[in-house]
Structure 1
């Protein structure tokens, strides 16, 4: 019985090359997020795939070519072993041809039993090697395992690849001798595999060098190609840093003309960005003009309403104090006229103040001790709201800032009035002044333990005419401008105001810089 024939070295090599190529294609890699990284990675991956394909195809083609040469060489050996046609079996040892000259180094041979296909008792297996002996060769008997593997080749006259234990892979062919036994001759495949292995190592080194060089070249070329995009990104960043949400905005930032060439993709992006910036600039200019007209209208309307409101209040008071006898209904109507005209006058004054602050007019600055301002404001609030508990938390040292005393006092009055108006009786309101910090800023906190501000209303608490719930209504005398004035006045002083609220704790924090006073540039 013939032993199973192992797969040929050519098939194993093709499988190994295919596995290596598949491993390259399936190799997981952390894909970078930047465009530059993705382009470089794509270039390197494409170079690696091309190198792998070329290397695999070259190695497979060389292996096939060398194996065909080996098969032709094996056919010559088989022809010499069989002898000339019709000459009959060679006299003496049928494997004697192996020790004669002309056989390649490492040639093996065996005599197979015609009946069983296995090595018979009289079969002799020899190997030609360099060394002492006739023709400079030696012959030695193969082991039983080697003989069994060698004689297990099918007797079909075609070459097969067989692994001989201890000797490696051989190409073996069975040849029939006229009137004699079946001879099995074989040649080692080590020259073929050695040459191919050397080629694979060289290809790996060359491919790795090529991939590294391709990566460096791709990184440089991509960096150069993406330079216009980086300039566009810097332009967009400068635009994003502009205060576009208020005031007059001069949107002069544009992409350089060199990056707006419509013949290139990046140039088209740059030109589109410039068109967009132009549209945004026009929209911002139109918005500023509209806001300016509204502010001018509010200011003009406020000035015009001052006189008639003062006249209404004066005539109502004069009528109520006159000598003529008037009924209770008339006296009540006159008192309501005075009350509503006073509220309208207060609203007009608040609108005028906001209009002046919106124009960006600087405030008249002087040295102000916030501790004294807070003490005065809390005293006034205690008189206006005796049903609340008022507390002070003051530093031991003065907290001096540079600002307008009247406007800063109005900030404190509005915050305390907001706490008094929108919290029930018995609520504790605390005004706290912190000493200047390392950054040169003073913080004032007005906190209460009332029900808090609804979360949905909290982002809009500093907007004009904002009322969070029914309690923030005209019934409580609120115009919805108090906190808007707080933010406007604090902003005019270069400070900030924030709020944090939850049930049981609402804290308004005003932060003011402790800058040295300068000459007054204007009045508000």
Structure 2
């Protein structure tokens, strides 16, 4: 259990998964490929259509020349069935009122094949206004010109097979060229975008390194900056880099101002707490001295002296806690000795039992030794504060179990109870200073204050952090657990500042 909430996973409605956004590299590459494909198809289509139109025009000219050659004679003349002057792929047919229609298709120079009645009907069904495409059964597509006269009609056609073959060949060539251009365009786009986005990647790397800095505590300086080459405002990436540098500068200034303010507050609290120790001790001493005089004091005076003495004790404890936090904030006085935790925990639980015998206490620990590197006095304070917090906020009869166990290179201390639990809204700020379950700071009049000051768990968290450890809380009604994880061997000793004068 931790004191931080995990971000909730986002799910799409009806179980659908949201589509991942496209990166700039993918968008540019796909855009270039789409543009190359569009241009390739457009250029190929225009070129193929233009070539086909040109070939058809040349074919029409040939049909026209053959028609005029044949029209030199009368339509009723005998057709040249085996003439070598007529090329292959030519069809010629005549229609006369007396003899009907007849015609030939020339498969090779000097070789002719007579047309069928169906082919003749298809041939003479062509328009007489100009050359047109006609599909002849069994022969394919032809470019046909029909000439009509009063004594008959002449139909001349030339096969479009060569035109079709050339057209499809050119279309295939353009398809292969376009496919190759798509591959080269995709490779080139990926390479170009990779080179073009390198400055942006370096800006991103700078921002990523900044996110890894510990800005909540310690040194607040931000040494990371976008390199000058990527912060030139004359380029788009440079504008982003320059803006990020300005933002980092403003953040650093804000962090420095915040640190100075916090240092002033900590120093004020430390100085004020230190200065309050002497007058508080004097108040308590004079109260005790007044109670011990031989003269008989009125009951109201005795009650007032009791209140003065108890409040001075409480304020002295508060001042000591504030001083302890000030020392921990400055890393002062943390020893680096070998601390045996089993005996330390056992002694602390024994003291807690003596102070709260109406609770059920249990220790679950291995046989000693179980040691960590740290400060014995402050680690004892951690255990004492956790136990005091557990029995102070739980009713009589609550079972409190302290568990100590080794976990790899760490030692885990758990204080669990079956009390009413910690309010959910309090758990995230449980280890903050002056965090208390009751919002009011009022004390019951006429009795010693037993409520907490809100500093005990803050001291626990500070001591654990000073030992490079972690602390977490998990609580539901009937099961509250505070877990402290301490490394057995600290990586490095912290440099402490000068001790505060007593």
Q: Report the TM range for the smaller structure's normalisation.
A: 0.7 to 0.9
Alignment of 1:492-511 (within 5 A): 492-511=466-485
1:100 aligned residue? 83
Q: Deviation string for 1:50-108 (max 9, x for gaps)?
A: 22221222122212222222222222233334x13xx542423xxx2464344342122
> Which whole-Å CA distance do the structure 2 matches of 1:341 and 1:146 have between them?
125
**Corresponding residue SS for 2:406:** coil
Q: 1:185 to 1:478 in 2, by over 3 A?
A: same
Given that 1:48 and 1:207 are in contact with CA atoms closer than 8 Å, whether structure 2 keeps it comes out as yes
How far 1:516 sits from its partner (Å)? 6.7
Q: What is the TM-score when the length of structure 1 is the normalising length?
A: 0.84
> Which whole-Å CA distance do the structure 1 matches of 2:184 and 2:144 have between them?
45
Q: Deviation string for 1:402-424 (max 9, x for gaps)?
A: 01011111111111122212222
> Which whole-Å CA distance do the structure 1 matches of 2:28 and 2:278 have between them?
72
> Which whole-Å CA distance do the structure 1 matches of 2:147 and 2:362 have between them?
116
1:172 aligned residue? 144
1:150 aligned residue? 123
1:39 aligned residue? 28
Alignment of 1:352-391 (within 5 A): 352-361=323-332, 363-391=334-362
> Which whole-Å CA distance do the structure 2 matches of 1:67 and 1:127 have between them?
20
Q: Which moved more, 1:103-112 or 1:428-437?
A: 103-112
Given that 2:75 and 2:153 are in contact with CA atoms closer than 8 Å, whether structure 1 keeps it comes out as no
Q: What is the root-mean-square deviation of aligned Cα atoms in Å?
A: 2.6
> Which whole-Å CA distance do the structure 2 matches of 1:213 and 1:297 have between them?
70
**Long gaps (5+) in structure 2:** 1-18, 444-448
1:49 matched to 2:16? The reply is no
Q: Deviation string for 1:241-272 (max 9, x for gaps)?
A: 11111233121211112222222222222222
2:417 aligned residue? 448
1:486 matched to 2:460? The reply is yes
**Corresponding residue SS for 1:185:** strand
Q: Deviation string for 1:457-493 (max 9, x for gaps)?
A: 2211111111234699756421111111111100000
1:141 aligned residue? 114
> Which whole-Å CA distance do the structure 2 matches of 1:362 and 1:248 have between them?
20
> Which whole-Å CA distance do the structure 2 matches of 1:473 and 1:449 have between them?
27
Alignment of 1:170-319 (within 5 A): 170-176=142-148, 178-319=149-290
1:457 aligned residue? 426
> Which whole-Å CA distance do the structure 2 matches of 1:337 and 1:100 have between them?
141
Q: Which moved more, 1:356-365 or 1:403-412?
A: 356-365
Q: Which moved more, 1:391-400 or 1:281-290?
A: 391-400
**Long gaps (5+) in structure 1:** 1-29, 115-119, 131-135
Q: What is the TM-score when the length of structure 2 is the normalising length?
A: 0.87
2:16 aligned residue? none
> Which whole-Å CA distance do the structure 2 matches of 1:426 and 1:62 have between them?
101
> Which whole-Å CA distance do the structure 2 matches of 1:191 and 1:519 have between them?
91
How far 1:512 sits from its partner (Å)? 0.5
